[in-house]
Amino acid sequence: MRESVAIIERLHATAHLLNNAIGLNCVIVGPEKEIALEMPPNHIGSCFCKRLEELTGETEDLDHFYARCDYSARGTESGSYAVYHCPYGLANIIIPAFDGNQFVAALQIGPIRTSEPDQLLLNQGLLLQGVNGEKIETINKFLDQLPNGNISYLMSIAKLANSLITDKDLVFKSLSMETDIDNAKVDLELSDDIVCSIQEYIVANFTNNDMSLDMVAKHVYVHPSYISRIFSQQFNTPFRTYINGLRVNLASELLDTTDKSIGDICHEVGFSDHSYFNRVFKSIRGLTPSEYRNRPRDRRS
């Protein structure tokens, strides 16, 4: 019994972490098909199925939602998980939790889009059901807000969630059912793949003057606040400071090795404002770009 309670606590903690840090909807369903937790609250009532019900006038039941857990309940051991596609093509991750061979509950994560909204709606033939014009626009906006990821992303999230639920050696620091779960932290080794993807993307795109947390978050399919947390915990520096450091390094190289104007270099490395470029450059190098270029040759490194 005590182990079952510990499992439920890990399910709750994992659901809160995935929802707050990565922006994924989570539901915990018990063995009798009871809803033990919704993150965010009551999101099932406004799910894609129910939105279609409002648009088409046809009643949509949630039997398929609970059918996912029937799969989980038939499992014979912990450590199994599945990616499920609902009747409308949205992906959901199912993580069953067991106490020995006894099914305790299942964590459902999603929905997650694996295709563009227009394609998803086209596949469902909504135009043939009389859903068009403003109605199509309404459902498109809803789908646009859903997280989007390929199968690799889905499996990464599934593995992460499964590890948090089943690995007793993983510890949620400062976490209990009574404390502020928003402060929960887990072993950042679980995020190594995401960190590498973030670094590779930034190195390839830091000269884009539109570079932002949102831009990076969309590339790796996580919430912007999670990107910010990674920078604070892994790099010990804010996101913007990291980007500006890369830009100033490149600007320094261009000032030393080319005759390009400072204005051209400013824009080439990703700054859109010349005066801001000067301030950032001086804060890092101790000299303005002009002073840096004109410094004595024996001071150049």
Domains and their CATH numbers in the chain: 2-183 (3.30.450.20), 188-301 (1.10.10.60)
Q: Hey, what amino acid is at 183?
A: N
The whole-number pLDDT of residue 234 equals 74
C-beta neighbour count of 272 within 10 angstroms: 10
- Bond before 40 cis per omega within 30 degrees: yes
Task: For residue 192, give both structure tokens.
Answer: 């190594």
Size of the chain, expressed as the number of residues it contains? 301
Asked if residues 4 and 212 have their Cβ atoms less than 8 Å apart, the reply is: no
Q: Report the C-alpha gap between 62 and 168 in whole angstroms.
A: 33
The whole-number pLDDT of residue 67 equals 61
- Of 37, 45, 50, 167, the C-alpha closest to 108 is 37
Please list the ranges in the chain whose pLDDT falls under 50. Answer: 1, 76, 128, 171-190
Q: Report the C-alpha gap between 69 and 301 in whole angstroms.
A: 63
Q: Are strands 82-85 and 102-112 parallel, antiparallel or unpaired?
A: unpaired
The whole-number pLDDT of residue 12 equals 85
The whole-number pLDDT of residue 257 equals 92
The whole-number pLDDT of residue 225 equals 73
The whole-number pLDDT of residue 56 equals 66
The whole-number pLDDT of residue 288 equals 94
| 176-185 CB burial, b ≥16 within 10 A, e <16 | eeeeebeebe
